[in-house]
Structure 1
Amino acid sequence: MSEPAQTPTEALLLIDLQRDYFADPELERCRGDLVATCNELVRVAREVGVPVVEVQTVHERDGSTWTLTMHEDGQGVAERGTEGVQRVEGLEPGGAEVVEKTRDSAFFGTDLAERLQRAGIDHVVLCGVSTESCIAASARDAFALDLGATLVSDATASVDWSEHDHTLSMLRTQHRQDVVTGAAVVRRWRDGAAGAEGDRAAG
Structure 2
Amino acid sequence: MTDPSPRSRAPWRAPLDRTALLVVDLQEAFFEDQALAAHREEIVARARQVIRWAEREHLPIVNVRTVHQRDRSTWTITMLEDDQGFLFEGDEHTANVSELDLSAAIEITKTRDDAFVGTDLESTLLDLDIEAVVVIGVSTHTCVMLTAAHAFALDIEVALVRDAIASHRPELHELTLDTLRDEYRFPVLSPDALCRVTATADRAPA
TM-score, length basis structure 1: 0.89
Percent of paired sites with the same residue: 41
- For residues 3-56 of structure 1, the C-alpha deviation after alignment (integer angstroms, 9 at most, x for no partner) is xxx971110011001111111111011111111111111112111111101001
SS at the partner of 2:196?
helix
Query: What is the aligned residue count?
Result: 191
- For residues 178-203 of structure 1, the C-alpha deviation after alignment (integer angstroms, 9 at most, x for no partner) is 11111111111x2x33434x69xxxx
Larger relative contact order (CA 8 Å, sep ≥ 6): 2
For structure 1, which runs of at least 5 residues remain unmatched after alignment? Answer: 1-5
- Tell me, yes or no, if the aligned pair for 2:26 and 2:138 is still in contact at 8 Å: yes
Letter in 1 for 2:189: V
- For residues 156-180 of structure 1, the C-alpha deviation after alignment (integer angstroms, 9 at most, x for no partner) is 1012222000000001111111111
User: 2:145 corresponds to which residue?
Assistant: 136
For structure 2, which runs of at least 5 residues remain unmatched after alignment? Answer: 1-14
Match of 1:193 among 192, 200, 203: 200
TM-score, length basis structure 2: 0.88
User: 2:108 corresponds to which residue?
Assistant: 99
Match of 2:135 among 112, 126, 131: 126
- Tell me, yes or no, if the aligned pair for 2:35 and 2:170 is still in contact at 8 Å: no
Q: Report whether the alignment pairs 1:22 with 2:27.
A: no
Letter in 2 for 1:142: A
1-structure distance, mates of 2:154, 2:94: 28
User: 1:149 corresponds to which residue?
Assistant: 158
The worse-fitting range, judged by mean Cα deviation, of 35-44 and 10-19 is 35-44
Letter in 2 for 1:182: P
Computed over aligned residues only, the root mean square deviation of the Cα atoms, in angstroms, reads 1.6
Higher helix share: 1
Match of 1:181 among 190, 197, 201: 190
SS at the partner of 1:59?
coil
Shift of the 149–7 alpha-carbon distance from structure 1 to 2, 3 Å rule, reads closer
2-structure distance, mates of 1:184, 1:107: 27
Letter in 2 for 1:179: V
Match of 1:41 among 40, 44, 50: 50
- For residues 38-87 of structure 1, the C-alpha deviation after alignment (integer angstroms, 9 at most, x for no partner) is 11111121111111010011100111101011112221121101122111
Q: Report whether the alignment pairs 1:112 with 2:150.
A: no
